[in-house]
Structure 1
Amino acid sequence: MRQSPNPPTISGGAIVKGAVVLGAAAVVSKLLGTMQKIPLQNVAGDSVFGIYNAVYPLYTLILFLATAGFPIAVSRFVAEERARGSAAGALGVLKMALALSIATGLSCFVLLYFGAGILASWIGNGQTEAALRSVSFALFFVPVMATLRGYFQGLGDMAPTGVSQVAEQLIRVAVMVALLIAFVQAGASDAEIAAGATFGSAAGALAGLIVMSVYWRSHRKKEKRLYSDDSGTMRAGEAGRVGYRRFIAYAFPVCLGSIVLPMLTLADTFTVPRLLMQSGYGEAEAMRQFGLYNHGLPLVQLVAMIVSSMSVALVPAISEAKARGALAEVRRSAAASLRLTWLIGLAASAGMAVTAVPLNVMFYKDAAGSVTMMILACTTAFSVVQIVSAAILQGLGAERAAAYHLLAAAAVKVGLNLWLVPLWGIEGAAVSAIAAYATAAGLNMIRLKGFPFGRLSWRDFAMKPLLSTLVMAIVTAAVVFAADLLVANVFPDLSYRWRQTAVAIVSVGCGASVFGVMLFRTGAISATELAAVPKLGTKLLRILRKWRILPN
Structure 2
Amino acid sequence: MSKKESFVKGTLILAAAALVARVLGLAQRIPLEHLFDDIGNAAFSQANTVYLMLLPLATAGIPSTLSKMVSERYALNRPHEAQQVYRAALIFSAVVGVLMSVILYIAAPYYAEYAKVPESTLAIRAIAPALLLFPTIAIMRGYFQGRNNMAAGGISQIIEQIARVSTAILLAYILLRQGYDNTWMAAGASFGSVLGSIGAFAVMLYFTLKLRRSEERQALYDRNQAKLPLLGIYKDIFTLSIPIVLSSVTVPVVNFIDTSLIVPLLDGRIGLAEATRQLGIFGARAQSVAGIPPVLSIALSTSLIPIISAAFARKDEQHLQRQVTLALRISILTGTPIVIALVVASNSINGLLFSDLDGSGIIAMLTLGTIFQITMMTTNSILLGMGKSRISMYYVFAGILVKLAGSFLFSRWFGIYGIIGSTALCFLVITGLNLRMLKSIVPFSIMGKRWGGFTVALLASAGIGFGLNEAGTLLTHMMPDRLAFLITCLVVGGAVVVVYLVLLVVLGVFSRQEIAGYPRALQKLLNPLMRLQPARVRASE
- Asked whether the two chains share a fold, i.e. TM above 0.5, the reply is yes
Q: 2:337 aligns with which of 344, 347, 352?
A: 347
1:160 aligns with 2:133: no
Letter paired with 2:411:
V
Measure how far apart 1:359 and its partner are.
Answer: 2.2
2:464 matched residue in structure 1: 475
Measure how far apart 1:488 and its partner are.
Answer: 4.8
TM-score normalized by structure 2? 0.92
2:214 matched residue in structure 1: 222
Q: 1:496 aligns with which of 460, 469, 481?
A: 481
Measure how far apart 1:530 and its partner are.
Answer: 2.5
1:369 matched residue in structure 2: 359
Partners of 1:348 and 1:381 within 8 A in 2: no
Measure how far apart 1:455 and its partner are.
Answer: 4.8
Q: 2:111 aligns with which of 81, 104, 119?
A: 119
Q: 1:529 aligns with which of 494, 514, 537?
A: 514
1:453 aligns with 2:470: no
Measure how far apart 1:550 and its partner are.
Answer: 7.8
1:402 aligns with 2:392: yes
Determine the C-alpha separation between the residues in 2 that align with 1:292 and 1:178: 22
1:131 aligns with 2:131: no
1:336 matched residue in structure 2: 326
Letter paired with 2:463:
I
Per-residue CA distance 1:522-545 (angstroms, 9 max, x = gap):
221222332333331443355335
Measure how far apart 1:472 and its partner are.
Answer: 0.9
2:189 matched residue in structure 1: 197
294-303 vs 313-322, which deviates more?
294-303
Measure how far apart 1:44 and its partner are.
Answer: 4.3
TM-score normalized by structure 1? 0.91
Per-residue CA distance 1:491-530 (angstroms, 9 max, x = gap):
x1x2334312321221011101111111122221222332
1:384 aligns with 2:384: no
1:83 aligns with 2:72: no
Determine the C-alpha separation between the residues in 2 that align with 1:93 and 1:272: 42
Cα 1:374–1:195, aligned 2, differ >3 Å: closer, same or farther? closer
More helix per residue: 2
Letter paired with 1:505:
L
Partners of 2:505 and 2:532 within 8 A in 1: no
**Residues 14-163 of structure 1 aligned to structure 2 (within 5 Å):** 14-67=6-59, 69-163=61-155
State the percentage of identical aligned residues.
28
Determine the C-alpha separation between the residues in 2 that align with 1:355 and 1:529: 32
Letter paired with 1:224:
E
Letter paired with 2:84:
G
**Unmatched 5+ stretches in structure 2:** none
Determine the C-alpha separation between the residues in 2 that align with 1:241 and 1:267: 35
Partners of 1:344 and 1:381 within 8 A in 2: no
1:358 aligns with 2:358: no
Partners of 1:89 and 1:234 within 8 A in 2: no
Partners of 2:42 and 2:277 within 8 A in 1: no
Letter paired with 2:240:
Y
Determine the C-alpha separation between the residues in 2 that align with 1:448 and 1:20: 24
Q: CA RMSD in A?
A: 2.4
- Report the count of equivalent residues: 535
2:274 matched residue in structure 1: 285
Q: 2:402 aligns with which of 392, 412, 424?
A: 412
Letter paired with 2:207:
Y
Determine the C-alpha separation between the residues in 1 that align with 2:476 and 2:107: 54
Give 3-state SS (helix, strand or coil) of 1:303's partner: coil
Give 3-state SS (helix, strand or coil) of 1:187's partner: coil
Determine the C-alpha separation between the residues in 2 that align with 1:29 and 1:216: 22
Give 3-state SS (helix, strand or coil) of 2:294's partner: helix
Determine the C-alpha separation between the residues in 1 that align with 2:34 and 2:447: 50
**Residues 257-336 of structure 1 aligned to structure 2 (within 5 Å):** 257-279=247-269, 281-294=270-283, 295-336=285-326
Partners of 1:307 and 1:387 within 8 A in 2: yes
1:427 aligns with 2:412: no
Cα 1:10–1:414, aligned 2, differ >3 Å: closer, same or farther? farther
Per-residue CA distance 1:104-128 (angstroms, 9 max, x = gap):
2111011012333433433444433
Measure how far apart 1:406 and its partner are.
Answer: 1.8
1:255 aligns with 2:240: no
Letter paired with 1:24:
A
Measure how far apart 1:285 and its partner are.
Answer: 1.8
Letter paired with 1:439:
V
Measure how far apart 1:350 and its partner are.
Answer: 2.9
Cα 1:484–1:442, aligned 2, differ >3 Å: closer, same or farther? same
Determine the C-alpha separation between the residues in 2 that align with 1:265 and 1:348: 21
Measure how far apart 1:355 and its partner are.
Answer: 2.1
Cα 1:454–1:548, aligned 2, differ >3 Å: closer, same or farther? closer
Determine the C-alpha separation between the residues in 1 that align with 2:467 and 2:521: 32
Letter paired with 1:301:
G
Partners of 2:72 and 2:313 within 8 A in 1: yes
Determine the C-alpha separation between the residues in 2 that align with 1:293 and 1:381: 18
Determine the C-alpha separation between the residues in 2 that align with 1:22 and 1:99: 26
233-242 vs 527-536, which deviates more?
233-242
Determine the C-alpha separation between the residues in 1 that align with 2:313 and 2:104: 40
Determine the C-alpha separation between the residues in 2 that align with 1:151 and 1:377: 32
